[in-house]
Amino acid sequence: MPSEQSEAVKRHWAALRLAGPQDAEVADDAWGGLTAEPRQVDYIETDAGGVPAMWAVPKRSSEQHVLLCIHGGGFVGGSKYSHRKMFGHLAKATGARALIFDYRLAPGHVHPAQVDDATAVYRWLLGEGISAERVAFAGDSCGGGLSITTQLRAREQGLPLPAAALPFSPWVDMEAVGESYETNRQKDAFFTRDGVRELAGAFLGEGGDPRDPMANPLYADLSGLGPIYIQTAGDEVLLDDARRLDEHARKAGVDVRLDVFPGMQHTFQMAAGRAPEADDAIRRMADWVRPRLGL
């Protein structure tokens, strides 16, 4: 049975369903309110190779270990501000700094603008002297997808790959063909197959290919990627995105773990500091990634 605090996430998504899947302003205003302010975390704005960014710096965190955090929002919304507190909780639990950035949004900027921006930030981070083996990518929803495709772009450009990736409630299937769109249709408080396809269309642009491996990693060669820890919610229609990513990565020989949280909604981790389920998920991510970063 979900806690009352996690039920607030369900109410959040139900309210956004009334606003519509592309009402980014409403979503941005509501997201931040779900997350408690993490204690002893400072936020410092910066320019990451021309991309607006923000450091989340917990007290006593390692300066040489970084979580490169990619916000969700269906490619049409979200920002470093809407997600700073959630990623601040993850950084604090991990003992590393987090770098959160604003990639260009659809529909004004279509694919591959988002993966190009994320790769530019990663390149900048490496240029600042941070070793790839001390970097993990983390992202929710479409940011979870970008945590995979950014590695593919980095590999394409000859950059060293990060130590690990933490996609949670990942949206990776731009075709929206998973069975969970039907099996969880009455449980998911916000997403529908049609709504996700609308967002995918805004992201891909006119004539965009939903099977482009840089947009849909289910069609990419994932061999050689570092360990991946996927979290997903049992009641979200994107459940099969996580399951299929897990299966696809395993077939490519990637070390991958998948945790499904029963009764939870999409990106329930946004309730960090308020909901016990979100805090448990953050703790699991931190416990998993620390040894892979050498912490």
| Three-class DSSP category at 138 | strand
**Which tens digits make up the pLDDT trace of 179-235?**
999 999 999 999 999 999 999 999 999 999 999 999 999 999 999 999 999 999 999
Q: What is the pLDDT of residue 11?
A: 86
pTM score above 0.85:
yes
**83 among known catalytic residues:** no
Of the residues 71, 89, 266, 277, only one is catalytic, namely 266
The string of DSSP codes covering 222-269 is -TT---EEEEEETT-TTHHHHHHHHHHHHHTT--EEEEEETTPPTTGG
The CATH code of domain 4-293 reads: 3.40.50.1820
**266 among known catalytic residues:** yes
Q: For the chain, what are the domain ranges?
A: 4-293
Angle at 74 between CA 271 and CA 222, to 5 degrees: 95
Q: What is the pLDDT of residue 73?
A: 94
**133 among known catalytic residues:** no
The residue ranges of the chain whose pLDDT is under 50 are none
Q: Which of 115, 59, 47, 118 has the alpha carbon at shortest distance from 88?
A: 59
Of the residues 82, 141, 147, 180, only one is catalytic, namely 141
Of the residues 79, 83, 111, 236, only one is catalytic, namely 236
